[in-house]
Chain A
Amino acid sequence: MQSIVRYSNITKSYGDLEVIKGIDLDIAPGEKLAVIGPSGSGKTTLGRMLMTLEVPTSGTIELDGELLWHIRDKERLIRANEKHLHRMRGSVGMVFQHFNLFPHMNVLRNVTEAPRKVLGMSKEEAAESAVSMLRKVGLEDKLKMYPAQLSGGQKQRVAIARALVMRPKVMVFDEVTSALDPELVGEVLEVIREIAEEGEMAMMLITHEMDFAKEIADRVIFGADGRIVEQGTPEQIFDNPQSERLQSFLKRFRAGYALRD
């Protein structure tokens, strides 16, 4: 089956600092891919390039068989314009570490705004799908609340509903529990687990929650210094790591140290 996402020889530099050093990566439709690695290894950057928040320095990304950042002009590739990006972005969604809810809108508006203004749904239509998403994340009784009135876990669940309601084919979750108090992590992971079980949407799960990754991922990649160092099934990665880099990463992780390399 054709990949939903294909990174081909992608690099990314900030000035002189090369943070992604040539990555090839395919994600199958519906695949749950966990991305782990030390801090600063480029995990977030990888996800942000797919969400079109960061422009790759070289290489290509294909989304559902179509180039994301380029359009083909005969043999050459030229940088795509905003119109092309706008069309492509519809297939991707993202949930952020810091939620990024719209503070001036209540929960319902946060979730209905994009369906209405981007997909052109009617108010009723948008509200209906928003409420069903909010029910899925367990917040159908918070429609009129403002983000400031919610706990971190609730905010993140609204953010997940807001992204889901756009029905992306692939969704990037960038350390969505890292900013939460420990006691609120569970409720968010529970929601993600349920979404993962539904199956049809591919997920790129950037995370430091190793147990969670092990449980729901179909495949895990371990990245360090802008490269993929090792990849495999959760069992291979967590129970039988090959590279020294990964072994020491897991060892330190299990020792409960901070995540710095």
Chain B
Amino acid sequence: MWDWQYVFEILPELVRALKMTVSATLCGFAVACVGGLLLAAAVRSRYMFLRLAAKAVIGFIRNTPLLVQVFFLYYSLPVLADIKISAFAAGIIGLGLHYSTYLSEVYRSGIEAVPKGQWEAATALNFSKWRTWRNIVLPQALPPIIPVMGNYLIVMFKETPILSAITLVELLLTAKNLVSDTYRVFEPYTLVGILFLAISYPASLLVQRLEKRMNLPRGL
């Protein structure tokens, strides 16, 4: 049943697809990191409009399926707004925006863990808002949330097969194409699983180690 020769035949193509999958994940994660931070800052803004807008965006994105969102970006946007984007761009924007709403919550927890006195000391020293965020608050808010961010990165990676629905030739779609070429189902899908595992598992171990390191007592 298991044909090693076939495995070695298709492996290069799957590895190529894996690279594409990883780069889509990383790009999507970058979008999510920036977007999440902007949302987290907007939610704390003193302008009511920004606060409401950010909350609306978060509520809307979280309460609609990711699949529908990437469909919208890839298929509906060109019709509605005459904007044509590639499957890759639609994929990373879709994934990135979706996860930015979750990361904004992670940022929020990190930011709220920074004592109010830090903001006040920054004001007393006349740091601008931007400087306060950049030099005082974020350097304290970010390190503790790195493990949680890492977990989201892994979750995102495992969500990439959704992008096959908009013809992004990532791992799953590559395997599907192989299956329809050769009618052999066993090897391609198993390899896809193994390749996901080969990335996710070491990554999750790394996250665990980071978590342990963060939890070490750091007398303040």
Contact = CB atoms under 8 A, between A and B. Distances in A.
Interface of A: 51-53, 82, 86, 89-90, 92-94, 96, 98, 100-104, 113-114, 117-118, 147-148, 159, 162-163, 166
Nearest to A88: B126
Category for how many chain B residues contact A: 20 to 34
Contacts of B127: 114, 117-118
A100 B139 CA distance: 15
Contacts of B219: 148
A66 to B, nearest CB: 16
Interface stretch (B64-72, B128-136, B180-188, B191-199): B128-136
B146 to A, nearest CB: 14
B126 A166 contact: yes
A53 B125 CA distance: 12
B124 A94 contact: yes
B131 A51 contact: no
B135 A113 contact: yes
Contacts of A89: 123-124, 126
A148 B218 contact: yes
10 contacts: A86-B128, A89-B123, A89-B124, A90-B126, A92-B124, A96-B120, A100-B115, A103-B220, A118-B125, A148-B220
Given A82-B129, A86-B128, A113-B135, A100 B123 contact: no
Given A118-B125, A148-B218, A53 B135 contact: no
B124 A118 contact: no
A102 B125 CA distance: 12
For A52, A100, A103, the residue with the greatest tally of chain B CB atoms inside 10 Å of its CB is A100
A114 B136 CA distance: 11
A29 B118 CA distance: 29
A94 B120 CA distance: 10
B117 interface: yes
Contact of B131 (A52, A90, A118): A118
Contacts, number: 60
B117 A98 contact: yes
Contacts of B118: 100, 102
B140 interface: yes
Interface of B: 115, 117-118, 120-121, 123-129, 131, 135-136, 139-140, 218-220
A166 B125 contact: yes
A95 B35 CA distance: 36
Nearest to B117: A100
Nearest to B132: A117
Nearest to B129: A82
A180 B124 CA distance: 21
Contact of A53 (B123, B126, B218, B220): B123
A51 B123 CA distance: 8
B140 A104 contact: yes
Nearest to B219: A148
Given A118-B131, A148-B218, A103 B140 contact: yes
Contacts of A148: 218-220
A214 B121 CA distance: 28
B126 A118 contact: yes
A86 B126 contact: yes
B120 A100 contact: yes
Given A90-B126, A102-B121, A118-B125, 6 more contacts: A103-B140, A104-B139, A117-B127, A118-B127, A147-B220, A159-B121
B47 to A, nearest CB: 12
Contacts of B120: 51, 53, 96, 100
A117 B126 CA distance: 10
A90 B127 CA distance: 10
Contacts of B123: 51-53, 89
Contacts of A113: 125, 135
Nearest to A92: B124
A162 B117 contact: no
Contacts of A117: 127, 131, 135
Chain A CB within 10 Å, residue with most, of B120, B121, B139, B219:
B121
A62 B152 CA distance: 51
A114 B140 contact: no
Nearest to A102: B136
B87 to A, nearest CB: 42
Contacts of B125: 93, 113-114, 118, 162-163, 166
